[in-house]
Structure 1
Amino acid sequence: MAISGYADLTPQQVLDALDAVALRGDGRILQLNSYENRVFQLFLEDGSAVVAKFYRPGRWSDAQILEEHEFALELAAAEVPVVPPLVLESAEAGVRLAGVPPTLALGGAHRWAVAARCAGREPELDDPETLRRIGRFIGRLHAVGRRRPFVHRHHLDPRADGRRALALLLDGGFVPGDQLPAWQSTCEQALTAVESAFAAAAPLATLRLHGDCHPGNVLSRDGALHAVDLDDAMQGPAVQDLWMLVSGERSTMARQLDTLLAGYEEFSDFDDRERVLIEPLRTLRMVRHAAWLAERWTDPSFPLNFPYFGTSAYWSQQTTQLREQLEAME
């Protein structure tokens, strides 16, 4: 996808966008690290600070974004510590607000939302008590997520998601010819193993999830945890919000997951059949990440930040890692 929708997103454009929703910046602006969207921290004239997110054109529909916002507001109302979008008010003609309450602004080529700034640091996952606290936090989040399903957001579908990623990489010619046979064969075997694992575990209950619950999205501040970035919120099995928090040898991951679940099950039940989906989900994420890079390759920030993508060395490493995943899934 081209970056044409961001071409005019200058600092002044960002300040004007906040003015249009009655948030007056004092001129201080800092672009934050985000590849998918454009995210800025801005200081307001009243001394407070906010974070404005400009959604990548074409990625999500308005209905999908608003469903994400509704979930965040529902979590906040249930006292689950997340960073919800601010309720906006229009201060200029030509800017449309969407949502009940209004949380999404639409003007020109851009759609944006604003949230309070809420900083923090990544939690220390080698501390068992921290893992239990994270488990309790995710359990509370999932208790709300089970109340009703997403209608518009993405529903995790291992077969469709994996095969779409594979087709995108093959059809786009992103894999060098000297690496293509080995990578394609290994990737197809790995995706087949992913599909078999999910089929063997079926039927699985699904719920509304954070969707991208890695340590960088569950932050700690003054001893309290909070979640940020619900941009990948989806419908799927509970383990999707747990597997990225465990790593290492199989026995180590088992202990980590047990510790997480000790906290999690204080608030939500967990289906133990989902334990076997950790490595399949890791495999699926690997393939989908490569496809994500390919899909965004015309955005100039991607070749700049991922210069190794497309090289023979990168795809050779991908083949090796997928072979390792095949062994792990056995």
Structure 2
Amino acid sequence: MPPHSFLAFILLLISPVPLAQPLLAQEALPEAPYGQFRKVAVNTGERSRLTVKKNWLGKRRPTQAVPILVLAGHADSQRISPGTRGYAVAVNGARPMQPGMTDETFWNLKTAQRIAKLGRQRGLNIRFYDPGVRTIHNGDDPRTNWSQGKRHAQAGGYALEIHYDAYGRDGLGSGVIPRVYGGQTTIDEHLAREFGSFPWDFRGVLGAPKRGITILEVGKLEGDLENKLRNPDTRDAALNTIADRVVTTMAKALGVPQSFFQIPSLPALPPSPGTTMATQQSLLPSHASAPPPIQRSTPSTQGQGSTQGATGAATPL
């Protein structure tokens, strides 16, 4: 081997290897979105028509480490306040995403889980609560969203319940219904700027806001939003996109620096001669131990619909 070739080989061996990059086997790695936070454009539709009637201002500024509890609307009230079935199921006759559950509840759960997951990766003190029981008749049962959210708010935390609005003319569009108990916060204000808003006394003050839980209507369950969620090829990226908007907005409201998302571990590659894998280290800052589990909150009582597509029955939150 010529001297210069031998020297080049030695330099190749001792030079630092980029994290998660295998030598001589890059072609074996999957292409994007591997190692990236995959998103897709998602149109959440019109903002709440009641945004022009906003009668509140979120001034209370929580600390950066404020405990955030994310809840899924209707997760504890499927046979009481089930949520909207969505345009695809109600109008087009599509199969529900999960038998025995409205599509809204299904997406409320998936979205709330994703928000909590990405929020933790971004350094927020955030967690998700799932009552586990899908129908709890007593709103004050300690397992409900209402009970869990109320206790969380009373302890100084911030509780956010995720919903999707009804399709068609029954829906009002995306927006924030702010908490009443405890007063509106800068998180509520920033979310309202991002998604739109409802008056604080919407429908005479809903059960969740009355207990200190803010409601976020992501958008009407119809059109591009629903299509991107139901399509298996775009579902994961759509959930990422929605969760990213919520988490980024909350982080800005709290003044939390925008950090990166965790890069997944490399897929296992078949061993091949001359291939060396560099050890991948976690890129995320270590998180403080999760706060003690909360217990649960009851479904919000509010219905909203969507403008895209045909008219649908209004569904209480």
Same fold per superposition (TM over 0.5): no
Higher strand share: 1
Higher helix share: 1
TM-score of the two chains, using structure 1 as the length reference? 0.27
Which has more radius of gyration?
Answer: 2
TM-score, normalised on structure 2? 0.28
